Chain A
Amino acid sequence: MYFNMADPVASSWVDDGNMYRSTSLMAMNSTAAGGATMYFEAIHNGHFDAPDDIVLAVDASGDDEADRANRVTAMDAMVSKANTRNREGFVVAYSEIENVKPGGITGITVTLDS
């Protein structure tokens, strides 16, 4: 699963582009109004004491029920991406560059375990 969270022209690429095997996706859950978080095994640093996090931002301008439904829709979209098999290349889960924004996700924030 490939993630890009910002236009590289305006960024350093540090933390902006990430790729994980879908089997490294360990869990997801709501973490805020307008936010759900994906937890990946932190493969980059080779130890296992905390995950890499990707926060999925969704619209939270509606009522609580609309917010809940938006978070669920975002997680649904990531499940679909995690189960997609693309033998021609990787699966773009979310990309600002290519404007791939499934499930109503408006942005992502990547935090790597250190």
Chain B
Amino acid sequence: MKTPYLYFGRKGYYVQAGVAPTSNVAALTAITNANGGMLPIVKANTVIPDTYGYRVLHRAVDAVDDKRGTDYTTDFVTGELFSSATAWGADKNQDDIQAGQVTHLSDASAFIVGSGDQVITIGDNTATGGTVGSDATNGITMTTNDFVYVEEFQFNAGVLPIATIGADACFPATSLIGIEPLGYTAGAGLHYDQTAVDKTRLIFKSGDADRTVDTVDIIHTGGKFKEICEAMEDLCNSTVYDEMVKVHYLDASGQKLHNAFVSRGINVHGVILTLQNRA
């Protein structure tokens, strides 16, 4: 019996509430394959984050003055100047944070990542800098109502795994057991652009041969569970037999998502692979 084979590459996506700085730094919870689908490698404060294929974004919920590094001049989502009185409806400087603003922490000294612990530590925007070495130009001082997003956007050795178990997976379509809608509550259930986010689990008969399952968790545009089921039904009934059907993966140029998803208005923010007991 011929069957399509479905290929998934992981994509890291991690969201958590803001952390108030202690001694001028705010350490996030450790990112794991389970909670974020990625393992960022150690990063010193001399490395530009984007060169590692991921970005850290701050979405403000609270409006606070003088809490953002002055290197950050424009909103990552809208492109509006932070200093624009027209856009933000107030006479503000670019270091003043207003609710809804998204800051891309793109400076080398904005944050560091520990060796082997996947803990992102963000420096505040005071002159003292703390262990991160941030200052008034590149740090940010969060509140606990804000949110931090860590988003992988490119296949890059700066975020693991890239070649070991958990990096990708291929299953015969006949192994698809079911699809389960899951809630996604991190970030108040919102992407950094404030669109709704949901998570859907694809459940496959495990490649391990034991009586267990492998799962592919897709974090995606909210309210699209039915459309994902339709897309998977399309792919499973396709007649592509001479190569894998590439459902989702990252390569060096960015994200690749099958048109069965794109055409249904589904954006994929993250893909987490859980493969049982591979030896």
A32 touches B243 (CB 8 A): no
Minimum CB–CB distance for A66 against chain B, Å: 9
A76 touches B244 (CB 8 A): yes
Given known contacts A30-B163, A79-B5, A79-B170, is B209 in contact with A39 (CB within 8 Å)?
yes
A80 touches B242 (CB 8 A): yes
Interface residues of A in 36-69 (CB under 8 A from B): 37, 39-42, 48-51, 53, 64-65, 67-69
A67 to B84, CA, bound (A): 46
Which of A26, A28, A83 is B209 in contact with, Cβ under 8 Å?
A: A26
A104 to B174, CA, bound (A): 27
B206 touches A31 (CB 8 A): no
Main secondary structure, interface of B, reads loop
B165 touches A51 (CB 8 A): no
CB of A99 within 8 Å of the partner chain:
no
A67 to B251, CA, bound (A): 11
Minimum CB–CB distance for B240 against chain A, Å: 9
Total interface residues in chain A, CB < 8 Å: 36
A46 to B234, CA, bound (A): 35
CB of B11 within 8 Å of the partner chain:
no
A48 touches B211 (CB 8 A): yes
CB of B182 within 8 Å of the partner chain:
no
A85 touches B172 (CB 8 A): no
Query: Which residues of A have CB within 8 Å of B162?
Result: 64, 68
A68 touches B163 (CB 8 A): yes
Which of B155, B171, B206 is A64 in contact with, Cβ under 8 Å?
A: B155
CB of B226 within 8 Å of the partner chain:
no
A69 to B253, CA, bound (A): 12
Chain B: CB-nearest residue to A39: B207
B251 touches A29 (CB 8 A): no
Query: Which residues of A have CB within 8 Å of B275?
Result: 27, 29
Query: Which residues of A have CB within 8 Å of B171?
Result: 26-27
CB of B143 within 8 Å of the partner chain:
no
13 contacts between A and B (CB under 8 A): A26-B206, A27-B170, A27-B206, A29-B169, A30-B164, A30-B165, A31-B163, A35-B163, A48-B211, A64-B252, A65-B252, A68-B163, A80-B241
